[in-house]
Amino acid sequence: MKYFVITLLLILGGCATWHNPSLKPNEDRRAVYKKDRSSCLERSKKAAHSEPGNDYRQLKNYDALHREYKKENEIYNRCMRAKGWVKD
């Protein structure tokens, strides 16, 4: 039962959506989201040194890759919040 609850929490924990309450009603929310998302993804990959051109990715162990992913995710979330997006 314990593993079921943990699995359920992990699955539902990643189901948040982003919305931007500061957008005007006449703005295309999807287009703004796509633009902001792509710029934040690019910024987070560069800041965390996890872009595909990084030749040393194969030499990293699991812990290093996990730290890199966590750092990339934190930078992405900060960038999206700075652009006015909040998670539900």
Average pLDDT per 10 consecutive residues for the chain, totaling 88 residues: 60 72 90 94 82 61 82 92 92
pLDDT value at residue 47:
82
The pTM for the full model equals 0.71
Nearest to 45 by CA among 24, 67, 71: 71
List the Cα angle 35/50/55 in 5-degree steps: 130
| d(C-alpha 15, C-alpha 84), whole Å | 19
